[in-house]
Structure 1
Amino acid sequence: MPEEYRNIYKTARKTRGYTQESAAERLNISISSLQAYETGARIPSNDVVELMVICYDNQALAYQHLRESSALMNRVVPKLEPRSVLEIAVRIHNRIKELENKGGLDRLMAIAENNVIDDDERPEFYAIVAEVREIVRSGLELDVYCASDFMPV
């Protein structure tokens, strides 16, 4: 099986350098439970995954778990791509500047002023929302894929 299709829980554990035995002990679960998660026989609860995220120091595991186990997550949270901190910072900067240069923030305030989005404003409002979602997406990528690299230990 190609590396990118390996089980996310197993990949996170191995990336951290833990054996199944040491990981199970740190997570306070049985080795057989960990094996079941890592073979896909069972899906770990969100509480167990939260412990894995902390133990393995792998924020991306939380995102991957929720993405694979929750249809609602897939509908609400955009698909994230692992990017470098530089690439994400540039994307955020460029998208905010573009929104500002197109007058999107001022238009959003004008649309919101009467607390009603009328039919004439709706297409422009949706276009602004789409641009803001891209900024939010990049912010999430920064948090999920880069934040732990810069947090003090």
Structure 2
Amino acid sequence: MPQDRRNIYKIAREAKGLTQEAAAEKLGISDSSIRAYETGQRIPPPEVVDLMVIAYDSQLLGIQHLRASADMARSIVPDIREVRLPEAIMELLDRVYGFVDAHRDRELLRIGKDGIIDDQERPIFDAIVAELGDLVEAAMAVRYAKQGHLEEGVE
């Protein structure tokens, strides 16, 4: 597991405001297991991560765990970082508008409508697919964005 991802479990737990002891109780595991996961001594099994996602209210943790624990997932699942909702929305819309304004949607349709990508079309197609990957990443950032909550009686 890469060094920079070892604390994803601690970050998610602390964001929920739980102590290691409270998290261990919620998850039905020992305090020492929590410590081992948070220091990178052990990787939590999928069923524990499933419980963490629920207990910590963090779907992002599930994505981070998947990317951190499986090489194939790193090549398929975008690296989503948690950002504030307004920032995520602005980034997504900027990418969508840029894609459409550059007529990439029309280029993709022109290239793909016959089901064949020839040697001349290949570089353009590959570039468009990369841009679509960036759009997917931006959309996922919106889905998992840090959202503010209104306090009762406050607008």
2:30 and 2:87 mapped to 1: Cα distance?
A: 40
Q: What is the alpha-carbon distance in structure 2 between the residues aligned to residue 42 and residue 117 of structure 1? A: 46
Q: Distance in 2 between matches of 1:36 and 1:132?
A: 38
Q: Is 2:111–2:121's contact at 8 Å kept on the other side of the alignment?
A: yes
Deviations 1:104-150 (A, max 9, x none): 11111111111111111111111211211111110111122347979
Mapping for residues 126-137 of structure 1, pairs under 5 Å = 126-137=126-137
Q: 2:114 is paired with a residue of what secondary structure?
A: coil
Measure how far apart 1:49 and its partner are. 0.8
For structure 2, the 5+ residue unaligned runs are 151-155
Identical counterparts, % of pairs? 41
Task: Within 5 Å, give how 1:38-53 maps onto structure 2.
Answer: 38-53=38-53
Structure that is richer in helix per residue: 1
User: Is this contact kept in 2: 1:59–1:148, CA < 8 A?
Assistant: no
Secondary structure, in 3 states, of the residue corresponding to 2:43?
A: coil
- Which residue number in structure 2 is paired with residue 29 of structure 1? 29
Scaled by the length of structure 1, the TM-score of the pair is 0.82
Q: Deviations over 1:17-57 (max 9, x none)?
A: 22223212211223332232223221101221121011011
Q: Residue type matched to 1:82 in 2? A: E
Q: Provide the aligned length of Structure 1 versus Structure 2.
A: 147
Letter aligned with residue 69 of structure 1: S
Deviation at 1:5, TM superposition (A): 8.0
> Who is 2:109 aligned against?
109
Structure 1 residues without counterparts, runs of 5 or longer = none
Given that residues 7 and 40 in structure 1 are in contact (C-alpha distance below 8 angstroms), is that contact kept between their aligned partners in structure 2?
yes
